[in-house]
Chains A and B, each alone.
Chain A
Amino acid sequence: MTGSTTPIYRPKPAFDLLRVPGLGRLLRWRWGRLVFQLPLAVVAAVMIYDGLTGPKLAPQNLATVAAWVHYRGLVVLALLLAGNLFCMSCPFTLPRTLARRLSGHGRRWPMALRNKWLAIALFVGLLFLYEALDLWASPWLTAWLIVAYFAAAFVFEALFAESPFCKYLCPIGTFNFVGSTISPLQITSRDTQVCRTCVGKECVNGSAQVLGCGTELFVPQMRSNMDCVLCLDCVRACPHDNVALAARKPLAELTIAAWPRRWDVALLALVFAFTALGNAFGMVPPVYALESALARWLGTTNETLILALIFGVIYVALPVLAGVGAAWLSQRLAGAGSLRVVLARYAPAVVPLGFAVWFAHYWFHFASGALTIIPVLQSFLIDHGVTLLGAKPNWRLGAILPADALFLLEMGSVLIGFIASLAVLRRIADNTHEDGRMATRAMAPWLALLALIAVLAVALFTLPMEMRGMMAG
């Protein structure tokens, strides 16, 4: 606290993770982020090493097991229970943390690219590569993917003044940004009055010793987790110790028009929901039937082409058509703004359901295979002469949930996501239209879209999953 401001009334946020004894101090500490980044950097290094030199079978390699089973399962759990904890501990941004600024006078990210279009393209592109190259079946490619992440984050961090990689490019970040809009924690100012009289605005500008927000968010104006990597640089930069990582009302962000009303941001939310369906669709029997039907119909055996067609439709064409279509209908039925405005207003409503579908799919893999990492680690250590975890790998370890419990979890997750999306939709419509009948008409097309996504998701999770792909032979 400074002498210049003596607040009479200083409301404290309900719960502030940064004030939790012990943990709060650690998080606020100048090198606090390293405590989380360094262990993950070691894990990434081991994954790269095993991916490049170890077993070629995905279930036996640390790279594939840790990336496609553990990383994905834990990242959605963290988003659900706390926030964007992966970005907080992201090893790819280590150079920034260590150097505190690689190129202080780097150029600025081009104006024309200051939007989510590239991020959407790279996110969809990575998910497409995942199918086309069967990334999940290849330790070698998975290792190179991690290397590519390190290299790309490093290059863009070095060349540009801010952190364009996280905000405008990184597919992991893009997923986490959308996912974190349902998270219970958010960066906010403890007392807006202090910010109003603050001269330096160090949280965003930085100072001689500390960096400001790398993704250029301004704490007192933040109403969304979008673009926040939880680096906590703002916390360390604020000279008034006025930044909190506080609990917020569940789903509130999605109902208060917190996002910029832009095409790119709105369509990102829809892409997030449809990629969730598509990524799960990629591993059920109908996709193979569809592939061979398309192959016959087009008279081609080019698998990349066929996959590009299938996933181009699911990841790009469908979200655009469904989103713009629902917005157009909603506008026809109840007015209230241009097509862009109506789309941007209701797009957040698909996020809870989209997240639920991602969660259900990732937890299918995590809950059915979390313990397989133990024998994989055992055999990795044995290969290097370390018998700390036993002299023989125990290949009988696998699931952490029985199959029926897992099925319940998948169905429950979709159901809760659907209900949450409905609640958000209702709230948005009620906030827009005073007349209840108008509100109902405005939300009707979106209700249909949500129901469609939910039904497709239930159908997907009822089908038996098949693990197919490139034969390692």
Chain B
Amino acid sequence: MTSKKQLRRSFILLILALGLALTLSACQRASQQIDTGASSGIAMTLAVNPDPATVGQAQVTVTINDASGQPVSGAAVAIKGDMSHAGMMPVLADATEDGAGVYRTDLEWTMAGDWIVTVTATLADGQTVEQQFDLSVAQ
């Protein structure tokens, strides 16, 4: 039914498909291209209480400084905690400013394991800076 030629053609198709996948893996969607603040010199730190983190209620503190080390006030700071496993609901919170450049919020670590905390700060001038912090939550 099928000739050698057709077989060869199917293999060429396969190679093309694999090439497409390779090319795809080199691109990133627009929403994934984030500004970590490195270019503008914005620096963020994250502190948790209790530390080390345990399952349950916690307080999270984000501090934001600019390139000259001055606190950055007036930012809107959103916090999102994700687990490393698919199918886990993220933990969301908005931090409120509590002293110049210091933003705090309460939230709950819902499960033990590895968390990735994404802090998104929208500065007063409209610039959005996003950074991720790894965190291990114990039982």
Contact = CB atoms under 8 A, between A and B. Distances in A.
Given A57-B116, A473-B132, A99 B87 contact: no
A280 to B, nearest CB: 13
15 contacts: A49-B24, A52-B25, A58-B84, A59-B88, A60-B82, A68-B87, A104-B2, A144-B25, A150-B17, A158-B11, A365-B86, A366-B87, A370-B87, A397-B89, A473-B134
Nearest to A57: B82
B116 A369 contact: no
Interface in A359-411: 365-366, 368-370, 372, 379, 382-383, 395-399
Contact of A102 (B10, B80, B82, B89): B10
Interface stretch (B36-44, B96-104, B107-115): B107-115
Nearest to B92: A395
Interface in B8-65: 10-11, 14, 17-18, 21, 24-25, 27-32
A285 B111 CA distance: 12
Given A55-B31, A468-B113, A469-B84, 4 more contacts: A59-B90, A65-B87, A285-B112, A473-B132
B79 interface: no
A140 B32 contact: no
Give the interface size bracket for B toward A. 35 or more
B86 A59 contact: yes
A285 B139 CA distance: 9
A57 B10 CA distance: 35
Interface stretch (A3-11, A171-179, A459-467): A459-467
A237 B111 CA distance: 53
Interface residues of A, number: 62
B100 to A, nearest CB: 29
Contacts of A223: none
A379 to B, nearest CB: 8
B77 interface: no
Interface of B: 1-2, 6-7, 10-11, 14, 17-18, 21, 24-25, 27-32, 80, 82-90, 92, 111-114, 116, 132, 134, 139
Interface string A45-86: 000110011111111110011011100000000000000000
B111 A466 contact: yes
A383 B114 contact: no
Contacts of A143: 21, 25
B92 A151 contact: no
A102 B17 CA distance: 17
Interface string A133-160: 0101100100110010011001100100
Nearest to B87: A369
Contacts of B31: 55, 379, 382-383
A101 interface: yes
Contact residues of B: prevailing secondary structure: mixed
Contact of B25 (A99, A140, A383): A140
A382 B25 CA distance: 20
Contacts of B21: 48, 52, 143-144, 147
B113 A466 contact: yes
Find the residue from B21, B87, B89, B112 having the highest chain A CB count within 10 A.
B87
Contacts of A372: 86-89
A143 B111 CA distance: 26
B76 to A, nearest CB: 15
A469 B27 CA distance: 25
A47 B67 CA distance: 40
Nearest to A138: B84
Contacts of B28: 53
Find the residue from B17, B86, B88, B90 having the highest chain A CB count within 10 A.
B86
A65 B25 CA distance: 18
A471 interface: yes
Contacts of B87: 59, 65, 68-69, 365-366, 368-370, 372
A64 B84 CA distance: 10
A467 B10 contact: no
